Amino acid sequence: MGEEGKLADLRAELRAWLSTNLPGDWRERQRGDDIEGFLASQRDWLARLVKGGYATPHWSGAWHGGGRSLAEQVAIFEELARADAPRLTLFFVSLYHAAMTLQEFGTKAQQERHLPAILAGETWCQGFSEPGAGSDLAALRTRAERKGDRYVISGQKIWSTLGQFADHCLLLVRTDTSGPKQAGITFLLMDMKSKGVDVRPIKQITGDEEFAEIFLDEVEIPVENLVGKENEGWAVAQYTLSSERGLALVELTERLALGFDRLVAEATRGGTEADRVDAETRRRIVDISARLTGLRAMIATLMANRIAGNEAVGDASIIKLAYSRLSRDFTALGLRLRAGLAMRETAYVLGAGYETGNWMFDFLNSYQYNIAGGTNEIQRNIISERVLMMPRQKLA
């Protein structure tokens, strides 16, 4: 059987599994301010995916469901999105950033301690960005001093997704200031229950608290929690940040497409499109449809090139920039079509995108993609310098 036949079988297998395992009440369990409902729903869905073998297609073949090709991983992400399955927001850092970093750079003891625990529901967050060191991550200042068999850390981290619920943290610290700023950075694993760790959720404009800031006051971390070598954490961090290999955008774009189909169906319900919407709204619908088709084509090309091992420099930046702009314009269209209804809807679903039924929430939330995954300004710099080969201008 050829590769296409295998992928078709995998899709059929997953669709059959979803027909009996997808929880139909997941939105209700995650809706509104019921944090406990959100946590319970996420843990339940992780357990189902782990048992079914669909939670870890990107892990090594030593794990149940692991060892999948990139093409198979794309197929799984697409099918989960198209089935309207809940996103594993709570466990994304755990399953991708933490797990893949540990498999590539972790010691055997670290792997044995954390990988099975992740599958059992252990949660992780990232302690990378800092005030003044977001886009320029290498400018981080959180200081770690080695004292015997421990590092003592003081500093601050910010924009840590769901850090208030995390058991452990992937932490970047500065252990040397004598060389270039990319040097002297060390990668550590931190227990979030350690003395001196203070986590404060950040309330966003949506009313949600998806992010948190972490304050570290002489926190002690055992040297055995060092990942890689001291002062060589920059290379580890780059691997961590690339570990989901663009699959997140595959899923997010498919969910956006699903939301767009629903929105148009809702706008035209009870009559023809011309009866329901004005000319400007029709123009916007056509614009979003064309851009969505283009984005899906770009992502398909990107993943095909990655599978073939010949991805072009800047492709991921172009797609990320296109997605962030499209998500904002799409949710603005949702607001236009729903008009006053969007202003009255207050319930939202943590960890869902374009399925919440609250267009105001989704519109406000879409602005995070200007920053997430690398700011749009940084993406434009990459495109101009590495794709268009434009010279870097020096400010006077």
Q: Which residues are catalytic?
A: 244
Cα 145 vs. chain centroid, distance in angstroms?
31
Surface-to-core class of residue 272, CB atoms within 10 Å of its CB (0-12 exposed, 13-18 middle, 19+ buried): exposed
Q: Is residue 255 a contact partner of residue 79, using CB atoms and an 8 Å limit?
A: no
DSSP annotation of 124 reads: E
* Residue 352 near residue 87 (C-beta atoms within 8 A): yes
DSSP classification of residue 145: E
DSSP 11-34: HHHHHHHHHHHS-TTHHHHHBTT-
CB neighbour list of residue 255: distance below 8 Å, 6 or more residues apart:
81, 87, 353, 354, 355
Dist CA 303 CA 299 (whole Å): 6
Helices 70-82, 279-308: inter-axial angle, 10-degree rounding: 150
Q: How far apart are CA 149 and CA 223, in angstroms?
A: 5
Q: Is 228 helix (H, G, I), strand (E, B) or coil?
A: coil
Among the listed residues 312, 296, 313, the one whose alpha carbon sits nearest the alpha carbon of residue 250: 296
What lies within 8 Å, CB to CB, of 28 at 6+ separation is none
Point out which residues pair with 125 in neighbouring strands. Answer: 169
